[in-house]
Structure 1
């Protein structure tokens, strides 16, 4: 079995490399621009499904599609489109709880399975000067909610309830469960016995 990640996310690539998985990155053809889905769980489930399904799949390949969003006060918060939108996102998140959702879809042979992981994140109250300094130095444009928990924005986080890797963009335990269900193999056997 050959494993394909339908994502160019450096964070997803890094997580999969760190757990020892051998995989290939392949582009997907999915665009989220025209989706009008209010449920955060349904949104990431559908996006991850479209990403996996829009990837060219060859015989004996297992394809992984993933999508991560931030959800707060009834709004789905994706990636910022400008510095100003990043600033607005951080001001909205300041001093409050939000939820990070990641949807995963795995396709192998005739089988397709998906799941969603959610994690609660609590931000401290962020001062305007902190936001300004952060926007000057950090790389935030390719991140849902304009932050990466494992980078400079870790200074904004008061508490996390749930899966840390989900916030980074790839919930490893959910992946392991889905992998076994779709392929019939334990993920650790695939990683350690290759």
Structure 2
């Protein structure tokens, strides 16, 4: 069975590659602007499903769609569109707890299997000059909440409660569970067989 990742996220590509999965990257045709969903759980689940559905080309493929957001103060925070919006995001997260939600959807043989993972992340208080220095490196681009837990922003994090890989953007335990439901195979057997 051909595996398709409906994402061009370098982090997701790296994680699946490091797992040893053979897969193809296919661009999805989904935009999030038209969603008016207040619940972070529902939002990422719906987005991941739409991404996967938009990348399906035949029923013999396993298509993976994913969407990650940051949720704080009853607001869904996506990716920054500029340095100014990134600064606002990091300033908002400074000294507070926020939640990272990732929705995953796998489509196999016309059936859809979805799940959502939530992880709480606690940022220490960040000085304004630290934020400016961080933004100078442009690491914030293309990342929900304007940071990547596995890069320099890790210095802002006091603790994480939950799945670390979810904060990276691809919750491995949830993926393993959905993979087994979708294919009837244990993920590790699939990896070892290749």
Please tell me the TM-score bracket, short chain as reference: over 0.9
Q: Give the structure 2 partner of residue 82 of structure 1.
A: 82
- Structure 1 moving runs of 4+ over 6 Å: none
Gaps of at least 5 residues in structure 1 are: none
Q: Give the structure 2 partner of residue 25 of structure 1.
A: 25
So what's the TM-score if we normalise by structure 2? 0.98
Task: Tell whether 2:167 aligns with 1:167.
Answer: yes
Cα distance in 2 between the residues matched to 1:45 and 1:81: 23
Q: Is the 8 A contact 1:40 1:76 kept in 2?
A: yes
Q: Give the structure 2 partner of residue 145 of structure 1.
A: 145
Q: Is the 8 A contact 1:57 1:63 kept in 2?
A: no
So what's the TM-score if we normalise by structure 1? 0.98
Q: SS at 2:55's partner residue? A: coil
Across the aligned residues of Structure 1 and Structure 2, the Cα RMSD in angstroms comes to 0.7
Q: Give the structure 2 partner of residue 125 of structure 1.
A: 125
Cα distance in 1 between the residues matched to 2:47 and 2:138: 27
Q: How does 1:40-79 map to 2 (within 5 A)?
A: 40-79=40-79
Q: Is the 8 A contact 2:29 2:54 kept in 1?
A: yes
Q: Give the structure 2 partner of residue 106 of structure 1.
A: 106
Q: Is the 8 A contact 2:59 2:110 kept in 1?
A: no
Cα distance in 2 between the residues matched to 1:49 and 1:56: 11
Q: Give the structure 1 partner of residue 176 of structure 2.
A: 176
Alignment size in residue pairs:
194
